[in-house]
Structure 1
Amino acid sequence: MPEQSAWSFADDRGRLVAADSRPSRVLAYVQAGATLWDYGIRTEGVFGSGHDGAEPDRAKTGSLPLDVVDYRGAGDGLDVDTLLRGGPDLVVAVSYGHGQLYGLDPDTAKHLEEHVPVVVIDVGQARTLDRVAARFAELAHSLGGAPVPGAAGELHAARERLRAAARATSPGPGVLALSPASQEQAYAARPRMWPELRVLAELGVGLVSPPEGAGVNWATVDWAAAAAMRPGIVLADTRSNALPLHEITAPAWRAAGARARIVPWNPEPLCSPQGHARFLALVADAVEGAAAG
C-alpha cells in the first residue's frame, strides 16, 4: 500500500476514526492484537479483560511474541496511564454489542479516547464469524497489513475437510462446547450464540445444545447434567479463567469424559484465516478420529 498523508477507518460503532498519518504503534485487546499480528501488523502492546491476570493468557495470544509485545495487564490494573505506556497512536478494541469496549472500565475507555484514536470491532453474537474476520481484514489492510500467502487456501481446505468428515460420519458424534467453572459446575455453550460454533453447524457438525433456561450464551449445569448430554467430542475452554477439564473429578463426568475426544477451544477466537483454519483442523481431527474408533 502506498504511503498516505492521512488515515481513517469506519469502525463498528459507526464512527470514522481518523489520524494525520497511518498509525504504526498499535495497542489492542489481546484477541484483536493476535488477529492483526497474523496480517503482519506488529502490535506494540496488548491488554486483557477482567477474566485475565497479571500475565497474558496463552490461550488467547496466538502467534504473538510475548517477549516483544508489551502486555499492559487486565482488569483493575488497567488505567489510562498504563494503557498509554509506550505511546500508542491507535487502540484496537472489541465489543460484544452496543459499542462498549470489552475489558475496559467505561470511564477508562472514555478518557483513553481523549488521548488516542480508538477503533472498535464488534465480535458479538449478532455477527457471523466471516463478517468479523472481514472487518479485521479491512482494518489490517488500512494499516498496511496483508494476509499470509496461502492462508485463504488453507482455510478453504480446512472447511472442506471438516465438511467431508461430518458428511462421512453423519449423524456423527455430538459436539459439546464447555467452560469448566468448578468441581461442581460447568458452563455449557448455547451453540447458536457463538459465531465459530455456528460455522461448525453450517459445515454439518452435530452440536449438542444444553437445556433451555437461564443464561443467554451459557447454561450453568452440574457435571452429571453435562455427562447426560453424552458428547462424543468436547470443545474445552482453555482460557486461564476456566478450570482444566482433566482436573474435574465428578464421577459421572469422569466416565463420560473418558469416552469423549477433547478439543481445546478458545471462545475468543483469532479471526485470521490461519487462526480459523487451525481450529477447524482440530475439530476435523476429532471427527475423523471418532469415526475411526
Structure 2
Amino acid sequence: MSGTEGWGFTDDRGTELGAARVPLRVAAYVRAGAALLDLGVTPVAVYGSGHDGEELDPAKAGGLRAAGVPYLGPGRALGAEALGELRPDVIVDVTYDGKSPYALDEAVAERLGIPLVTLSVSGERALPAILDRFAALAASLAAAPGRSASGAGSAAGPVPAAESTAGPAPATPAAEPADPVGAASASAADLAAAEALLRSVAAKGGGAVLALSGAGAEQVHLARPQAWPELAHLAGLGVRLLDPGPGPGANWLTGDWAGVAELRPDLVLFDEREHATPPYALPSGVRLAAWNPETPPSPAAYARFFRDLAEALVA
C-alpha cells in the first residue's frame, strides 16, 4: 500500500480504523512505542502508564531514549491539548482486557478525532501472536511516504522542547538499516536463535525459576506463569517455572518474602521496572535475573531477554 492509497487497520478490540493516508506521526504508549521503534517506525512521542512518573523508566525505554523520542509522562494525565500539539496521525496503546486502552483515556483520542489502535498483550494470547500483530501494524505504518527504512528522520518531526523529558537526541544518529525487510528477517532469525539457545540450556537443567515483582520489605507479587505470554512461552521452551499456587489474583499471587523461600527457586526473575522494589529476602545461593513484564513486543527485545535468561541459567 502506498501512502496515497489510504490506510486501514483492525485492532484487537475489533475496531476498524482508517485514514485518508498512511499515518506518519505516531504517538504511543511506551511499551508499544519501543516495539514500533524496533520494528522500523519511530514515534513522535511516547507516554507512560499509571505506574510511571514524569521521567521515562529506563527498564521500559528500549531504544527510545537513544533515538531521542520525547516522553510525555503518564498517559492518564495527558489532556487533548497537550497531545494535540504533537499533531499525531495515530495513537497506539495496548490492552489487557480486549476492550479498553491501558494507558490513555480513550476520550482524549476521540476529542481529537485521532485513530487509536489498541493491541492485546494479555495472557489469553500466545507470544508469537502478539509479536505478529505488532509486526503487522508496523508494516502498515512503514508504508508512509517520507519514512526512512527504520522510521527515523522526517517521521518524528519537530517537537517543542518543553514537551520532552527524554533528553536530547544524540548528535550523530546511528546508521539506519537500508533494507527494512532484511532487518525484519534478521530480527526473526535472531529470536529463533535465542529460543534455540534457551531450549538447549533448559534441557540441560538450570533449576526452577520464579518470576516476581517486589512491593517492599513486607510484600511481594508472585507471577502466575500461564497468565503472562512470555512466561508461558518460556515454559514451552522447557524452562521450569514455579507456580505460586492457589489464591486470589489472576496474574499475581500477593504474599511475603517467606513464601518465596518456601517455593525454593534456583533463579528469581525480578521485575526491574522502577515502581517495583528489588528482592528483599532470598535464600542463600538463589540466582537473580532481570525481567521486564512490559518487554517491547518485538523479536529483537525478546531475543535479548531470552539470551540473558539463558546466560543466567548456566551461571
So what's the TM-score if we normalise by structure 1?
Answer: 0.90
Q: CA RMSD in A?
A: 1.6
Contact 2:6–2:20 (Cα < 8 Å) also in 1: yes
So what's the TM-score if we normalise by structure 2?
Answer: 0.84
Residues 206-245 of structure 1 aligned to structure 2 (within 5 Å) = 206-245=240-279
Unaligned stretches of 5+ in structure 1? none
Residues 81-92 of structure 1 aligned to structure 2 (within 5 Å) = 81-92=81-92
Counterpart secondary structure, 2:240: coil
Length, aligned pairs only = 276
Contact 1:53–1:75 (Cα < 8 Å) also in 2: no
Counterpart secondary structure, 1:114: helix
**1:163 match:** 199
Unaligned stretches of 5+ in structure 2? 143-149, 151-179
Residues 90-105 of structure 1 aligned to structure 2 (within 5 Å) = 90-104=90-104
Give the Cα separation in 2 of the matches to 1:287 and 1:182. 26
Contact 2:12–2:98 (Cα < 8 Å) also in 1: no
Counterpart secondary structure, 2:53: coil
Query: Identity over aligned residues, as a percent?
Result: 43
Deviations 1:93-150 (A, max 9, x none): 110023201022xxx3123123211111011111111111000000000011646251
Give the Cα separation in 1 of the matches to 2:248 and 2:195. 33
Counterpart secondary structure, 2:253: strand
Give the Cα separation in 2 of the matches to 1:129 and 1:32. 14
Give the Cα separation in 2 of the matches to 1:68 and 1:88. 17
**1:9 match:** 9
Cα offset, 1:270, TM superposition: 1.2
Residues 30-45 of structure 1 aligned to structure 2 (within 5 Å) = 30-45=30-45
Counterpart secondary structure, 1:73: strand
Cα offset, 1:244, TM superposition: 2.3
Residues 77-226 of structure 1 aligned to structure 2 (within 5 Å) = 77-104=77-104, 108-115=105-112, 116-144=114-142, 146=180, 148=183, 149-169=185-205, 172-226=206-260
Residues 33-72 of structure 1 aligned to structure 2 (within 5 Å) = 33-65=33-65, 68-72=68-72
Cα offset, 1:274, TM superposition: 0.8
Give the Cα separation in 1 of the matches to 2:309 and 2:223. 16
Matched, 1:279 2:302: no
Residue identity opposite 1:84 in structure 2: G
Give the Cα separation in 2 of the matches to 1:203 and 1:21. 41
Q: Is the alpha carbon distance of 1:67 and 1:141 closer, same or farther for their aligned partners in structure 2, counting shifts above 3 Å?
A: closer
Contact 2:222–2:244 (Cα < 8 Å) also in 1: yes
Contact 1:52–1:75 (Cα < 8 Å) also in 2: no
**1:269 match:** 295
